[in-house]
Amino acid sequence: MSTQEIRFSGFGGQGIIRCALITGKALSLYDDKFATMTQSFGPEARGSACAAQLVMSDSRILYPYITQPGVLLALSQEAYDKYYGELPKGGVLIVEQDLVKLKSDHPDLKLYRVPATRFAEEVGNRLFTNLVALGFFTAVTKVVTADAMKKALPGLVPDRFLKVNIKAFEKGYEYGIEALKTAGAAS
């Protein structure tokens, strides 16, 4: 892996920006990589479109903006509709399976579905959806280590919720490992 471009997307209030911040911190401080992050969101704090773009590399990043994401994490229908067409053949598409209805089967993409909101509710609150999704993302993409992601959480999630955020991350990660096994067995 020399350079990888990732788009995290959903709606405001799902913790999309935090996903990119956690991943960028994990890569830069704990996985010996370089990362840059940009973000965009609508005028409303919650409920509007939201995206964060992350460029990661083994070497210094000269251009901090994504040109063609290789990975898209879409936690809302609007995000999926807006961004899935930018993925190249062989790109990775991760969707929140209970919130996103696919327009096609996407045979040219590596497609993964995760019930992140449902798992977050099982952990204690749907506010942890982003951590479930990050755990799943970490497992299926392997662009960052799980250990680095967990080390990056302090300071980016409230201290009083650190343990439950780690639990949510681990739930998503375990589900991602199982998804990879299932995909490997189907090949």
Give the pLDDT confidence of 100-111 residue by residue, as tens digits. 999 988 889 999
| Interval 154-170 mean pLDDT | 95
The confidence band for 21, taking pLDDT boundaries of 50, 70 and 90, is very high
Q: Which amino acid is at 128?
A: F
Supply the pTM of this predicted model.
Answer: 0.93
Residues 6+ apart with CB under 8 A from 177: 139
Is the pLDDT confidence value at 96 over 70?
A: yes
pLDDT tens digit string along 35-49? Answer: 999 987 665 556 677
**Residue 16: enclosing H or E segment and its boundaries?**
helix 16-25
The vertex-146 CA angle with 94 and 15, nearest 5°, equals: 50
Structural domains of the chain, ranges and CATH numbers in brackets: 3-186 (3.40.920.10)
Give me the pLDDT at residue 45, please: 54
